[in-house]
Structure 1
C-alpha cells in the first residue's frame, strides 16, 4: 500500500529535496507540494494525502495553525518537519493535533520511517527536542501577551500595536510589561526574541 504525502515548505529547494528523497521510497508517493500555510487545507482536500509534512514557519498560516486547521479533515495525519527545533514549537504543534515533530537534518531513512509510523497512528518526536521541551516547561505568557509581543515584533509604537489588536494603549502597555517581566527581559524587543527563541510565539 502506498502512503500519499503532501509537503508544505516555503523554501522551494527544501521542498523539492524532501519530495525527491521521499519519492525514492517504494511505499511513499508525494501527491502535492505547497509553499504557503494557507494553501495546505485546499491542497489536502484536493490531493487527499494520508500524511501532511508541514514546516513551522511559512507565510499565510504557520505550520502549527495549518495543523490545527487539518483537524477538520478526517484521514490525514500531520508530521512537522522543521529547521526550528524549539521546545515551545513542539508543545504547540502537539496541542494543535500534529502526530509527529522532527527536524530537517533527520537522515532520509529516519524521516521515511517517521512518515510510516505517523501513518500507522503512532507519535514520533525528535528525542532531544522532547527532553528540551520537558525541561523548558510551558509558555509563561497568556494568549493576549503573546499576541501583543507578536505585533510588537514589527517595531511599531504602542499606538500601532493597540490599533492592530483593537486594544487601548494602556492595555497594550500592561501586556508588554507583563511579558517583559515573565521572560526576564529588559525591553519588549528582547522579550519578543526570548519568546521566539523558546517557540512561544
Structure 2
C-alpha cells in the first residue's frame, strides 16, 4: 500500500494526539523502523488467512477446520478490520508483508 508522505504525517499526528488508530499504512511505513510489529491477529485468523492465500473458499476452509462458513467469514472480516484491509486479498498481502504468514 502506497501512502503519500503528507497523509502519513497527518495519520501520525492524529495518533500522537490520541485521535487516530494504528492503521496498516502506518505499520507498513513506520513498523520496520521500529522493529517487527506485533501481530494483531489471533492464531485462528492467521490460520484462515494462510488458507485464503491458497485460494480456498470460505466453504472449503470451514470444512477443513470443522467450522461453519459464516464463522470463517467472520474471522476473515475480523482480520480485515484489524489490518485495515480493503478485501481478503489485501489482508493476506499485509500479513505476508509483515512476515506473519
- CA RMSD after TM alignment: 1.8
Aligned to 2:49, the other structure's residue is in SS state helix
**Structure number having the greater helix percentage:** 2
Structure 1: give runs of 5+ residues left out of the alignment: 1-130
Task: Point out the structure with max Rg over C-alpha.
Answer: 1
Larger proportion of strand: 1
Are the counterparts in 2 of residues 162 and 172 from structure 1 also a CA contact under 8 Å?
yes
Offset at residue 132 of structure 1 (A): 2.7
**Alignment correspondent of 1:160:** 60
- Moved runs in structure 1, 4+ residues, more than 2 A? 131-137
Matched residues in 2 for 1:133 and 1:165: separation?
A: 37
How much does 1:187 deviate? Answer: 0.8
Aligned residues: 71
TM norm structure 1: 0.33
Q: Deviations over 1:34-63 (max 9, x none)?
A: xxxxxxxxxxxxxxxxxxxxxxxxxxxxxx
Return 5+ residue gaps in structure 2 as ranges. 1-30
Greater relative contact order (Cα < 8 A, sep 6+): 2
1:181 matches 2:81: yes
TM-score (structure 2 length as normaliser): 0.63
Aligned 1:189-200 pairs, distance under 5 A: 189-200=89-100
